[in-house]
Structure 1
């Protein structure tokens, strides 16, 4: 039995579930409006599947953009696969949710950042970066705040 509620791990799973839900909707209906994603992931994660030349070029992490052209987006409970174009060379990638380091939709100034602790016993703490839409005139918006869940841990 546990000594308490593991809010960090629960939040981690919830944020990865949000990514899954967003990508599932995009797979069915496409990207609406100006939405697009920057997804940074750990290329050394054991379940990541990318071409050898990509893992050689990006041995630690890689950021992909899903915007104008992507194909065959397949979303599962563990991760997603997508075909992206790298200099007129389409490549199929599989990215498990656990490998994602950041997920950003700059069109609405929304982003998630997952940071891991040096101690492997610690749970990765997701950071939420979000700015809700409001009626402020353009240019009057302030930068989005980053909230660290570590500040709420005892």
Structure 2
């Protein structure tokens, strides 16, 4: 038994799994295109390490930005760390580079699917400030759901 950590980092593992899901979906779209009515709203932290976007976009969206991958996009490339894409902003094609760790929400409203990633998480080797609650009050699944959870699609509905 390793003495590296005294607990299993379910939240971090869940983050990795959900970001792997996004990677797989985007890689499939890069290879085959968007199937049917699928489209994505992706909100990301514009100040996160590795984010690349035009200065005018960073000035306009200094904290976070939501992009839509639907009708027009080009040069979608996916790797282990994130994805690159060219999107059209008012008839100005702009390249973006978005690391998976910068993603805050990923929503596909065509099938009412969404994920939200909270920005605060405890490192694997750092103890939490407070002891964990008893299992009957807070399960491991609920604790992990704080890090990655389903997003309310009402945020993205046009008739909201």
TM-score (norm 2): 0.77
Distance 2:62 2:30 in 1: 28
1:3 aligns with 2:3: no
1:63 aligns with 2:85: no
1:14 aligns with 2:22: no
Distance 1:45 1:11 in 2: 20
Q: Which residue of 2 aligns with 1:113?
A: 116
Any unmatched runs of 5+ in structure 1? 131-142, 144-154
Any unmatched runs of 5+ in structure 2? 129-143, 155-160
Q: Which has the higher contact order (CA 8 A, sep 6+)?
A: 2
Q: Which residue of 1 aligns with 2:131?
A: none
Distance 2:11 2:45 in 1: 20
Q: 2:150 aligns with which of 105, 128, 132?
A: 128
Q: Which residue of 2 aligns with 1:48?
A: 51
Higher strand share: 1
Matched positions, count = 132
Name the SS of the counterpart of 1:25 in structure 2: helix
Runs of 4 or more, structure 1, over 6 Å off, are: none
